[in-house]
Chain A
């Protein structure tokens, strides 16, 4: 079996499972946030049970409309605060956590081999730690609150094997954009996507999270990477009682629907052009695209490694007049680290605005929205029509390095060429 099948078999109490089989799995952790939680609470109350099945396994995080930008959002937050209190749940209020997908592993709610569901599509991010993690809806989250179980169709798997070393300023974000450009936004629909190969083995947890985060952008049920020493180093002191990682490696005769090979050695920075995540081109081929906004943040690329590379590029430079640059650390922990390392000073000196850790403009619900006719280059994960504000605005997705370079030049710019042109 491959790692996904092994996890699902264990969660369903079976020796083995096969693609296409429907299993009832025990859930190790369920997460809801401020936009999906209230519907889940409402649904949970309708089921008619008094208590969640296990209060230690339900996490509530406020991150989308944070801090509350309207009375309506404040009401939703209030609903979640009350529910968390009354059910005695782990709760991350405004200023205590950050973006759900960063907070979950950071605070030790993710462990290899777990089955984790979250009422958010990017729950697949935790595959970076060798967990089976996938997004569900609010009603289904309510059902998990009540029963601790959920049905899954065991997915067939695609293996993505990556080799080679990245060139300077080329990052895992460029790799995942390149992969999605190749496979298409429906290229892995319903599938498990397992990332393997020397590039992945040498990759930081931050990079692995970026890859698994965007697995859903090609339709995947989950993205997953076998746990190793890198995983252990990150989780030790966070998640208690780590399992034996050997049981979580795919067997040598594990079955895959197909295997796709990528070599990153000669790959340059990539950009997903409006308004589909698979509309990917090398940044050198996007032409002259002036930008009004540059956004560094989100659950895809708001980690300390992302902020460091952006700061490296912005240091001693100025964001071009007419461009607003927004930097949003993915969590309070990342914020603090960035402050200690002096990154906040670099961003501020460059003329960027640093906002509190939350989703921000990523989903166009809160701060940093776009007007009609405006263009944003963003380190987030979606460039759909209307995603960041006006339906007449354009969003280009890129790595934090490319976003930072573009902020300086006022147009989409290859970070590797910045030194020559500046």
Chain B
């Protein structure tokens, strides 16, 4: 993972649950690329089209609430989402995202300071987020070092593989 991520954003509201991120009927799909084709389709049928060249997702409170399905962050990652920033996350989604190597970060006030299409840059090392489209800057609590390590390794499995050798 790069410690800096820059991309255009797509903004969603509060309580985006894992059933809308990836409906239960797709859980039998195994190929992550197939999962990616259905990300968030029940909220926005064009989401996958918009995300494919790389986007930063911005959400409100309690992003990723609901089921423990890891297929939800996987679908986002494989649809082109590079990172998710939200006011707060549901805890299982937060852990799952880190574990599959999708960077997530909490930022109070972000959902009202960004609109879809704005260009954001997130600096994980420094704990800074900047909205290049309106100049607004945020300082966020950095992820603990062991989580940064998991992300740097590309996810928990790669991390364990390296550590258990």
A385 and B27 form a contact (CB under 8 A): no
Residues in chain B near residue A186, CB distance under 8 A? 14-15, 61-62, 65, 88
| B92: nearest chain-A partner, CB-CB | A135
Residues in chain A near residue B144, CB distance under 8 A? 22
A139–B144 Cα distance when bound, in Å, is 20
**Binary CB contact string for chain B from 84 to 124 against chain A (1 if under 8 A, 0 otherwise):** 00001011100110011000000000000000000000000
B160 and A47 form a contact (CB under 8 A): yes
Q: Does residue A386 face the partner (Cβ distance < 8 Å to B)?
A: yes
**Binary CB contact string for chain B from 1 to 34 against chain A (1 if under 8 A, 0 otherwise):** 0000000000000110101100111011110000
Q: Does residue B71 face the partner (Cβ distance < 8 Å to A)?
A: yes
Task: Give the residue among B43, B61, B95 with the most A Cβ atoms within 10 A.
Answer: B95
Q: Does residue B80 face the partner (Cβ distance < 8 Å to A)?
A: no
A36 and B96 form a contact (CB under 8 A): no
Contact of A143 among B15, B27, B71, B160 (CB under 8 A): B160
Q: Does residue A109 face the partner (Cβ distance < 8 Å to B)?
A: no
B160 and A385 form a contact (CB under 8 A): no
Q: Does residue A239 face the partner (Cβ distance < 8 Å to B)?
A: no
**Binary CB contact string for chain A from 26 to 46 against chain B (1 if under 8 A, 0 otherwise):** 000000000110110001001
Residues in chain B near residue A46, CB distance under 8 A? 157, 161
Residues in chain A near residue B37, CB distance under 8 A? none
Grouping DSSP codes into helix (H, G, I), strand (E, B) and loop, the A interface class, with mixed when no group exceeds half, is loop
A43–B17 Cα distance when bound, in Å, is 24
**Binary CB contact string for chain B from 136 to 158 against chain A (1 if under 8 A, 0 otherwise):** 00000000101000000001110
Q: Does residue B133 face the partner (Cβ distance < 8 Å to A)?
A: no
B99 and A140 form a contact (CB under 8 A): yes
What distance in Å separates the Cβ of A141 from its nearest Cβ neighbour in chain B?
Answer: 9
CB neighbors of A among B34-81 (8 A): 42-43, 61-62, 65-71
B96 and A137 form a contact (CB under 8 A): yes
| B73: nearest chain-A partner, CB-CB | A137
B70 and A276 form a contact (CB under 8 A): no
B69 and A36 form a contact (CB under 8 A): yes
B30 and A140 form a contact (CB under 8 A): no
A185 and B160 form a contact (CB under 8 A): no
B157 and A142 form a contact (CB under 8 A): yes
B15 and A49 form a contact (CB under 8 A): no
Q: Which of A69-77, A197-205, A344-352, A409-417 participates in binding chain B?
A: A69-77
Residues in chain B near residue A39, CB distance under 8 A? 30, 70-71
Can you sample 17 A-B contacts with CB below 8 Å?
Answer: A22-B144, A35-B27, A43-B157, A70-B28, A76-B28, A118-B68, A136-B96, A139-B155, A143-B157, A185-B15, A185-B62, A186-B65, A189-B61, A219-B91, A384-B20, A386-B42, A391-B23
Q: 8 tightest A-B contacts by CB?
A: A137-B96, A186-B62, A137-B70, A72-B28, A121-B68, A384-B19, A139-B99, A135-B68
